Amino acid sequence: ADAAGGGASAKLVSQLKATCADLHLVCEAGWLAKVEQLHAIVGLHHGAMLVGPAGCGKTTAWRCLLSALASLDGVAAESHVIDAKAVGKGGLIGTLDPTTREWHDGALTATIRRVNESAHGEGGRRHWIVLDGDVDPTWVEALNSVLDDNKMLTLPSGERLPLPPNLRILFEVDSLAHATPATVSRCGMVCFGPPTAAAAA
């Protein structure tokens, strides 16, 4: 089993280096180790946090990993980047009209529903939802039910949406200053250091 895992890891590292070369990126050893950590985390958790200051390689890490995995196993990959702070809780989760009691999906809810329904083959692809920006308790608390072992998004309308097995939720944040222990404990964590002088140059 160890040999098989080592072989898989070696193939991934080789593909990551090839992906970086295609994108004209320098595949620095410390950053590559973080990408490998992220790969391990998304294999174990359906929620992951990438923590570190701007410019440390968080976005490049998940984009390169997603591309490398698609090249390795042939499973098409899609990323859905959402700035939760810009859209607010209603734009992220959805809103319930107080008059008509009609429910309107938010960006996150609509994506999960679309992958679940798989009307256009979404069920056969790898999907990563990336919530870019500060983790705000006003909306992140609503995700606790989908991040725990239930993998079920409970909406204010009373509907419960299951998280598809081919979907992961990633948080890309500068720090955990505004994250609650309930959210942090439900996610895998990859901490990136500050950008190096070589990377900045």
* pLDDT score of 12: 94
CA 189 to chain centre: 11
Whole-angstrom distance, CA of residue 53 vs CA of residue 31: 14
* pLDDT score of 84: 86
* pLDDT score of 8: 54
Whole-angstrom distance, CA of residue 67 vs CA of residue 160: 31
* pLDDT score of 157: 85
| Start-to-end CA span in the chain (Å) | 41
How many distinct helices (H) and strands (E) make up the chain? 9, 9
Taking the model in full, what pTM does it have? 0.88
* pLDDT score of 136: 84
- 94-96 and 47-51: which strand pairing? unpaired
Whole-angstrom distance, CA of residue 180 vs CA of residue 136: 9
* pLDDT score of 116: 94
Amino acid at site 18 = A
* pLDDT score of 199: 42
* pLDDT score of 195: 60
Would you say 133 and 172 are in contact if contact means Cβ atoms under 8 Å apart? yes
Whole-angstrom distance, CA of residue 7 vs CA of residue 17: 15
Nearest partner of 15 among 36, 37, 34, judged by Cα: 36
Q: What are the DSSP calls for 55-112, one per residue?
A: TSSHHHHHHHHHHHHHHHH---EEEEEE-HHHHHHHHHHEEE-TTT--EEE-HHHHHH
CA 113 to chain centre: 17
Per residue of the chain (201 residues), what is the pLDDT tens digit?
333 345 558 999 999 999 999 999 999 999 999 999 999 999 999 999 999 999 899 999 999 999 999 999 999 999 999 998 888 889 999 999 888 889 999 999 999 999 999 988 999 999 999 999 888 888 888 898 899 988 999 898 889 999 999 999 999 999 888 888 888 999 999 999 876 544 433
Q: Which residues pair with 190 in a beta bridge?
A: 50
SS3 content of the chain, % helix, strand, coil (to 5): 50, 20, 30
